[in-house]
Structure 1
Amino acid sequence: MLLDGRHILVTGAARGLGAEIARGLAAQGARLILADIAEEEGRATAGALGATFARVDLADPASVEALAAAVAAATGGALHGLVNNGAIATGIGGIGFEDIEIESWDRVQRVNVRGTWLMTRAAAPLLRASGSGRVVNVASDTALWGAPNLMSYVASKGAVIAMTRSLARELGPDRVGVTAVAPGILTTESTEYVPPARHRFYEDGRAVPGAQGPGEITDVVAFLLSEGALTLTGQLLPVNNGFVFT
């Protein structure tokens, strides 16, 4: 199996895409640590996969550091992979940039941007110690085509893409690879709030038409976490069935 025996931490893993990624990684033999702010759902997902669960609030630096300490204890001090999937998306779209409330903007950046940085910073010593660490940042293709009426989220995911490239250069000398995937709208419980017209816009505009489920992302993420993926460091993969090309 592609990830046999590799310790992988997935944030935002309680439900939706994060839970589906966790299931795919488990099927490839990964030893999983799942983290989320939604403790009840997270423990249920972890229990079904035989994984370890730890609560984390990505907006709280102390919580992120506590998670890293728990991961170090669970893995013996070496982590092979980190999936930065935790983010805020629900309830922040549908309004123009002029009407975004400042606190709403700041909250999205705290979780999606600063949280990704904090989590990577906290995990970096463990990734280095493994000798073949991999980071996969979950971005969004909204940052590639400029989705309207969603600017706080679009800006945050654009920042994640930019951080991926900078992190790849900083961590590359330690043979830690950093990549990003950019899905489009997926059919999960996390996107039930998205208007049907936006779903149809994506489905009709893909090179491979139709809805895209979260399970279609997991094989790509699994490969990017593998030892053989180091040559892809710094790259962005728009895993959206051809809605956006780069």
Structure 2
Amino acid sequence: MSGGARLKGRVAVITGAAQGIGAEYARALAAEGAAVVVADIQDAEPVARAINEAGGKALAVACDVTDSESVGRMVADTLQHFGKLDILVNNAALFGKLSRKPFDQIESDEWDRMMAVNVRGAFECVKAAVPAMRRQQYGKIVNIASGTVFKGQTMLLHYVTSKGAIVAMSRSLARELGNDGIRVNTLAPGLVMSENVLNNPEWAGAASQNTVNTRAIKRDSVPEDMCGTLIYLCAPDSDFVTGQVLVVDGGAVMH
């Protein structure tokens, strides 16, 4: 694959990587030399196959991040296939297909599902991945939050709340895992025109344009916009960086 080699010899797990931004993350890390595990509850085989055909190394693994046994199997498959685990990108989340609605119209079951996937899913993956990272006294965990945490967002209370929890979780994990050589950081995208967002009428026209208007760089964001920051957080360049949030949204949020 064309690209650099900043992640040569590293093994990375990316959840929610069968499509959209997650698939772009997997391709970007593979292009930098990482062996990637493309994990998703959906069929991740096409993404892994394309990476392998391009000269990279990839393994597709079926994984439900809300199921601790499924997550355990994902880590076991990673270790069996590639021998170690250096990088975990907790990307799996509910967002692209969401319907925007006032908070008092969000059903309790929908709230619980959001927390199970977006918050507990990241927790389950970290819990399963850390023993392998501890053994080698090195690891990079990148949790995916959202710029909405820092500005508030109407009509998506359950989603924004879940991503606020990710920021808090990352900071606490960074403290707890620092002595193990494991860095934990957060990448917080703005609204990205991924496949699901493009196909969701909720984000057509004025809704997405209103977001663009809040940015210093006034254009739509595409998945590729996230990859440089992700690579930095996974690479040795950021070995002295932990507990931080990097917002990548064209300057809508400045903090």
Kept after mapping to 2: 8 A contact 1:79/1:130: no
Q: Does 1:235 align with 2:241?
A: no
Distance 1:232 1:33 in 2: 24
Counterpart residue number, 2:113: 107
TM-score, normalised relative to structure 1? 0.96
TM-score in terms of structure 2 length: 0.92
Q: Does 1:207 align with 2:211?
A: no
The one-character-per-residue Cα deviations of 1:70-116 (angstroms, maximum 9, x if unpaired) are 1121232x211000000111343411111101111000100000000
**CA–CA distance in 2 between the matches of 1:134 and 1:13?**
17
The one-letter code matched in structure 2 to 1:243 is A
Please identify, of 127-136 and 214-223, the stretch whose mean Cα deviation from structure 2 is larger. 127-136
Question: Which secondary structure does the structure 2 equivalent of 1:232 belong to?
Answer: coil
Match 2:171 to one of 165, 189, 203: 165
1:46 aligned residue:
48
Whether 2:41 is the aligned partner of 1:58: answer no
1:82 corresponds to which residue?
A: 88
Structure 1: gaps (5+ residues): none
Secondary structure at 1:83 match in 2? strand
Alpha-carbon deviation of 1:197? 1.4
Alpha-carbon distance between aligned partners in 2 of 1:44 and 1:11, rounded to the nearest angstrom = 15
Q: CA offset at residue 163 of structure 1?
A: 0.3
- Tell whether 2:47 aligns with 1:24: no
Q: How far does residue 230 in structure 1 lie from its aligned partner after superposition?
A: 2.3
Encode CA deviations 1:132-166: one digit per residue, 9 max, x unaligned: 21000011111111110001100100000100000
Which amino acid is the alignment partner of residue 12 of structure 1?
G
Residue 195 (structure 1) shift: 3.3
Residue matched to 1:175: 181
- Offset at 1:198? 1.8
- Conserved in 1, the CA contact under 8 Å of 2:97 and 2:196? no
The alignment covers a number of residue pairs equal to: 243
After superposition, where does 1:132-143 map in structure 2 within 5 Å? 132-143=138-149
Partner of 2:135: 129
Counterpart of 2:232 in structure 1 is 223
Among 10, 15, 19, the alignment partner of 1:15 is 19
Give the letter aligned to residue 64 of structure 2: D
Structure 2's unaligned 5+ residue stretches are 53-57
1:23-63 CA distance string (max 9 Å, x none): 11111111111100011xx1000110021010001121211
The answer on whether the counterparts of 1:35 and 1:53 sit within 8 Å (CA) in structure 2 is yes
User: Of 170, 179, 191, which residue of structure 1 is paired with 2:197?
Assistant: 191
Offset, 1:211: 0.8
CA RMSD, 1 decimal: 1.1
SS in structure 2 of the partner of residue 54 of structure 1: strand
Match of 1:71 in 2: 78
Name the SS of the counterpart of 2:254 in structure 1.
coil
Q: Which moved more, 1:126-135 or 1:169-178?
A: 126-135
Aligned to 2:153: 147
Matched residue SS, 2:141: strand
